Amino acid sequence: MRRLPLAERPNWRQRADECGFAFHTIGGEPYWDETHCYAFTLAQIEEDIEAPTEKLHDMALDLVDDVLRDESLLRQLDIPAAYWDWIAESWRRRDPHLYGRMDLAYAGRGPAKLLELNYDTPTSLFEAAFFQWQWLDDHMAAGTFPLATDQFNSIYESLVEAFGTIAKDLQRPLYFAAVRDSAEDQGTIDYLRDCAVQAGIECAAIAIEDIGVTDDGRYTDLDDRAIGTLCKLYPLEDLFREPFGQYLPSAGMQLLEPPWKAVLSNKGILPLLWQRHHGHPNLLEAHFDDGNGPLPPGWVRKPLHSREGANVRIHLPDGRSEEAAGPYAGPQIRQAFHPLPRFGDDNVVLGSWVVGDRACGIGLRADRSVITRDSARFIPHVILADDGGVFEA
Amino acid sequence: MKRSSHIALVLMGTSPLLLTACSRESADEGLYTSAQACIEQTNDSYSCNQAFEQAQREYAQAAPQYATREECVAAHGADQCQVVRQQQGSSIFMPMMAGYIMGRMLSGNRVSGLAGTPAFRDRAGGFQRPVAGANGVYRAGSLGRPAMAPVQMAANQKPTASRGGFGGQGSQRSSGG
């Protein structure tokens, strides 16, 4: 894993406009950053990232069954009791799932360490699947990289294939929904819908705020039609706690990601994985944490439902502390601190995508702070032979 | 390749986009019912044999599995199904490898990459192949069945010798939109 400085494509903003990538700059700060990239060897990708991702994915899916059979675990994961049967039923039916992203700490050697699973509302999808691919293609066309340069990124093909596979199992009409005013979420949900259309699925879009409920507790679109399946980029645990959540178990609306993802989109999965696979090379020690005692050096405290690093507190081994502000409260876990690789001022986290049940690509995020937050920039990557001899920047 | 061979957008952006992987290499694929039939069509005995052996190695992973002979016969036809004993003593049914697909990456006249994939008969007597690796995106037995796709090409044909004889004007316009 090497950092390679690189000239930006002179027309990359125009390229972004062409494909509707509206959030490449957020609040005046760059989010898409192609002033450099990271290069991996094929062995690093296949042995250190792809294979462990699939292994960790299998371990996580194996846990769903255990959790859904055990009320004390459901309580420990802070899943509201009103939804237990509905979630268990969705697992018994094996309601189809689409995707997830696991965040790994990996510095180019040694085992990648699982930091967390983003298995309900993973973002950075469009930039990983599409814009990163196009970036490499433009550079190959311009001669910056040899034509045979590769990238770990079959995310697009995997998404279209996965939609094609589950199409028959999705109730119609199918709606894609995200928060109306989030450019990033709208861009991501548009991309998912684009892939569904390419798989031949007829579908529509609705803002999550526009969903209605009938007198008899059915969810409806703006024409009062019942929604068959809602593919939502909106946290399950938020749906549970909002006023319309009470109708979920009886409304007959299918969800994508399905209700059983509530078990996996929960940081409580980290101590549970550690309990079952104590000492596994790709896991970090983790425990449930009541949040009362002091956090010892070398540990990280995370709320069960935090996203984008919010409310994560790190007590570094050298005694310094870092904490990210945020809205998340409630039960927490603590996880052994494991440093992210540092390149210059950047701490780099590796997001490894699973579509269907297959590891199919990565996206890197870089942040000046030790905690990777929503400010982290997206940095593209390539696969090159490890001697670096083919690279001419 | 660890990378999508192409990407496309149909809804997003200012106009429909279809981008094809930028590559001077060309690929050809052929469906053959035996290594001998492959050699007769391509005169490339090394590639034909290598691809055939690879297809045989992938067979156990790539072949669909059925709990009963009836299910297997319904999907692949009566003379195609064989019983396979599992280590635990149970039996499953799998279609035989009825042919294989040889994929060659060509840089000029040189073969730079080679792949062999098993092919199976479908119910109608056509051929089908596993989609995207051994098991599609959903792993068999856990959350889905291996995805199979029909093979459109006819068996034991001469491979395409060159492409690009039409459309040279079109390629000078950007396909990026």
The tokens for A125 are: 């999808």
| Cβ-based contacts of B1 with chain A (< 8 Å) | 150
Task: Give the residue-averaged pLDDT of B50-78.
Answer: 88
* Cβ-Cβ contacts under 8 Å for B113 (sequence gap 6 or more): B25, B103, B104, B105
> Does the structure show a pLDDT above 80 at B28?
no
* Cβ-Cβ contacts under 8 Å for A240 (sequence gap 6 or more): A79, A80, A82, A83, A248, A262
Of all residues in chain A, the one with the smallest CA distance to B14 is: A18
Q: Which of A272-276, A366-370, B127-131, B167-171 has the highest mean pLDDT?
A: A272-276
Instruction: Dump pLDDT digits (tens) for A193-230.
Output: 999 999 999 899 999 988 988 888 889 888 778 899 99
> Does the structure show a pLDDT above 80 at B165?
no
Q: Sheet with B127-130: list strands edge to edge.
A: B26-32, B99-107, B110-121, B127-130, B148-150
Of all residues in chain B, the one with the smallest CA distance to A359 is: B137
* Interface contact B22-A198, CB threshold 8 A: no
The tokens for B55 are: 């297809």
Return the H-helix or E-strand segment holding B149.
strand B148-150
On whether the CB atoms of residues A353 and A335 are closer than 8 A, the answer is no
On whether the CB atoms of residues A45 and A386 are closer than 8 A, the answer is no
What is the predicted pLDDT for the residue at A194? 93
Task: Give the residue-averaged pLDDT of B18-33.
Answer: 65
Indicate the pLDDT class of residue B137, thresholds 50, 70 and 90: low
The tokens for B20 are: 């094809």
* Interface contact A194-B12, CB threshold 8 A: yes
Task: Give the residue-averaged pLDDT of B108-134.
Answer: 78
Looking at this protein, which amino acid is placed at residue A372? T
Nearest to B17 among A19, A187, A191 (CB): A19
* Cβ-Cβ contacts under 8 Å for B133 (sequence gap 6 or more): A358
Task: Give the residue-averaged pLDDT of B27-39.
Answer: 88
Q: How far is B132 from chain A (nearest CA, A)?
A: 9
> CA–CA separation, A326 vs A308, rounded Å?
9
Q: What is the DSSP letter of B80?
A: G
> Does the structure show a pLDDT above 70 at A341?
yes
**Averaged pLDDT score across all residues of chain B:** 75
> CA–CA separation, A341 vs A86, rounded Å?
41
* Interface contact A155-B136, CB threshold 8 A: no
> Does the structure show a pLDDT above 80 at B160?
no
Q: Give the range among A231-245, A256-270, A375-389 with minimum mean pLDDT.
A: A375-389
Indicate the pLDDT class of residue B138, thresholds 50, 70 and 90: low
Indicate the pLDDT class of residue A158, thresholds 50, 70 and 90: very high
Mutate to test the interface with B, among A127, A358, A381 (most CBs of B within 10 A): A358
Nearest to A358 among B11, B24, B137 (CB): B137
CB atoms within 10 A of CB B57: 12
> Does the structure show a pLDDT above 60 at B177?
no
| Half-sphere exposure of residue A195: CA atoms within 13 angstroms, side-chain side | 28
Instruction: Dump pLDDT digits (tens) for A212-221.
Output: 888 888 898 8
Task: Give the residue-averaged pLDDT of B35-39.
Answer: 93
Could you tell me if B153 lies within 8 Å of chain A, comparing CB atoms?
no
> CA–CA separation, A88 vs A4, rounded Å?
47
Percentage helix, strand, coil, to 5, in chain A?
35, 25, 40
Q: Give the range among A87-96, A114-123, A340-349, B109-118 with minimum mean pLDDT.
A: B109-118
* CA-based nearest residue to B26, from B110, B111, B112, B107: B107
The tokens for A344 are: 């210059």
What is the predicted pLDDT for the residue at A61? 96
What whole-number percentage of chain B has pLDDT above 90?
A: 20
Task: Give the residue-averaged pLDDT of B128-139.
Answer: 63
> CA–CA separation, B81 vs B100, rounded Å?
17
Q: What is the ipTM of this complex?
A: 0.91
Could you tell me if A285 lies within 8 Å of chain B, comparing CB atoms?
no
> CA–CA separation, A241 vs A248, rounded Å?
11
Buried b (16+ CB within 10 A) or exposed e, B78-110: eebbeeeeeeeeeebbbbebbbbbbebbeeeee
What whole-number percentage of chain A has pLDDT above 90?
A: 80
> CA–CA separation, A365 vs A31, rounded Å?
9
Most distant CA pair in chain A: distance in Å? 68
What whole-number percentage of chain A has pLDDT above 70?
A: 98
> Does the structure show a pLDDT above 60 at B173?
no
**Residue A229 burial class via C-beta count within 10 angstroms: exposed 0-12, middle 13-18, buried 19 and up:** buried
> CA–CA separation, B40 vs A353, rounded Å?
43
- In order of A174, A335, B13, B63, B77, the CA distances from B34 in angstroms are 45, 56, 47, 17, 19
Indicate the pLDDT class of residue B132, thresholds 50, 70 and 90: low
Of all residues in chain B, the one with the smallest CA distance to A41 is: B2
pTM of the model: 0.76
* CA-based nearest residue to A365, from A320, A286, A322, A308: A308
Q: How far is A212 from chain B (nearest CA, A)?
A: 25
> Does the structure show a pLDDT above 50 at A149?
yes
Of all residues in chain A, the one with the smallest CA distance to B143 is: A94
> CA–CA separation, B94 vs B83, rounded Å?
6
> CA–CA separation, A270 vs A67, rounded Å?
13
- In order of A169, A197, A211, the CA distances from A223 in angstroms are 24, 21, 10
Instruction: Dump pLDDT digits (tens) for A61-103.
Output: 999 999 999 999 999 999 999 999 999 999 999 999 999 999 9
The tokens for A176 are: 């894609």
What is the predicted pLDDT for the residue at A182? 87
> Does the structure show a pLDDT above 50 at B164?
no
* Cβ-Cβ contacts under 8 Å for A42 (sequence gap 6 or more): A150, A383, A385, B2
**Domain residue limits, chain B:** 27-63+97-159
What is the predicted pLDDT for the residue at A32? 97
Q: How far is B36 from chain A (nearest CA, A)?
A: 32
* CA-based nearest residue to B103, from B165, B166, B151: B151
> Does the structure show a pLDDT above 50 at A34?
yes
> Does the structure show a pLDDT above 50 at B53?
yes
Q: How far is A70 from chain B (nearest CA, A)?
A: 21
Could you tell me if A70 lies within 8 Å of chain B, comparing CB atoms?
no
What is the predicted pLDDT for the residue at A393? 38
Mutate to test the interface with B, among A194, A201, A264, A362 (most CBs of B within 10 A): A194
CB atoms within 10 A of CB A311: 21
On whether the CB atoms of residues A308 and A294 are closer than 8 A, the answer is no
Work out whether the CA dihedral A177, A182, A184, A190 comes out positive or negative: positive
Of all residues in chain A, the one with the smallest CA distance to B131 is: A161
Instruction: Dump pLDDT digits (tens) for A173-192.
Output: 999 999 988 889 999 999 99
Instruction: Dump pLDDT digits (tens) for B67-97.
Output: 888 888 988 888 999 998 877 788 888 899 9
Q: Give the range among A89-98, A237-246, A263-272, B133-142 with minimum mean pLDDT.
A: B133-142
Could you tell me if A140 lies within 8 Å of chain B, comparing CB atoms?
yes
What is the predicted pLDDT for the residue at A390? 46
- In order of A12, A131, B62, B134, the CA distances from B28 in angstroms are 33, 28, 21, 20
> Does the structure show a pLDDT above 70 at B133?
no
What is the predicted pLDDT for the residue at A183? 87
**Averaged pLDDT score across all residues of chain A:** 93
